[in-house]
Amino acid sequence: MKITIETERLILRPLTSADAATAFFGWTGDPDVAKYVSWLPHQSIDETIEWLKEIAWKLDLEGNIIPSDNYIWGFVLKETGELFGSGGLIWETDWQLFQVGYNIMKAHWNCGYTTEAMKAILNFAVVNLGIKRVAGGHAKENLASAKVINKLGFIYDRDGITPHVDGIRFFDSREYLLDLV
C-alpha cells in the first residue's frame, strides 16, 4: 500500500531518523511552534530521534499498514523538496477517536499548507484506514489552528482544558468532531 500522498503543492511522506535535525531545528525544538500543543519543545536532537521512532509507520511483509495509535506524515514542498512540518492522526483515548494534529515551521505559517495536507490525510484515513470520525481541537488563543479546523469542516463540540505532557500546565481549548463518511 502506498503511504506517500501527493497534493497540488505537497508531498506527504513518513518521517525517518534522517529527518531528525530538520525536524528539531524547524519545529519540534521551537517553543513558538509548541506554544499551543500538549507536548513540550524537544530539548535535543536525541529527543526528536526518539519521537521519530515512536511515530514510525508499521508495515507487514507485504507492505500493508499494521494498525497503530498514530499515523504521521512529514510535509514536503514539491517545488523545493524542503521538509517543513508534520501532521496526521493520533489516537485520543479520552475521545476513543483519532485526533488530528499538525506542526509546521514558522516560515511556512499562513500559506494554506496545513489545510491542504490535512485534507489529503483525512481522505487517506477514510479510504485506507477505514476511519469514519475524527476529533480535533485547538487552544482558544490559537486562531491559526482554529482556521484550519474550520476549513476542514469540523463541527464545534465543546470547550475543554488540555494538559501539557508535563502535567503541570494546561490551556483552555475548543474541541471539535468531524464525520468523514
Strand ranges (DSSP E) for the chain?
5-6, 10-13, 70-77, 83-92, 97-104, 133-139, 155-163, 170-179
Which pLDDT band, with edges at 50, 70 and 90, does 175 fall under? Answer: very high
What are the φ/ψ torsions at residue 158 (nearest 5 degrees)? Answer: -175, 165
Q: Share the mean pLDDT of the chain.
A: 95
**Would you say the pTM of this structure is higher than 0.85?**
yes
Q: Alpha carbon of 36 to those of 14, 101, 154, 162, 172: distances in Å?
A: 24, 11, 19, 10, 10
CB 176 within 8 A of CB 149: yes
Per-residue pLDDT tens digits for 68-116: 999 999 999 999 999 999 999 999 998 899 999 999 999 999 999 999 9
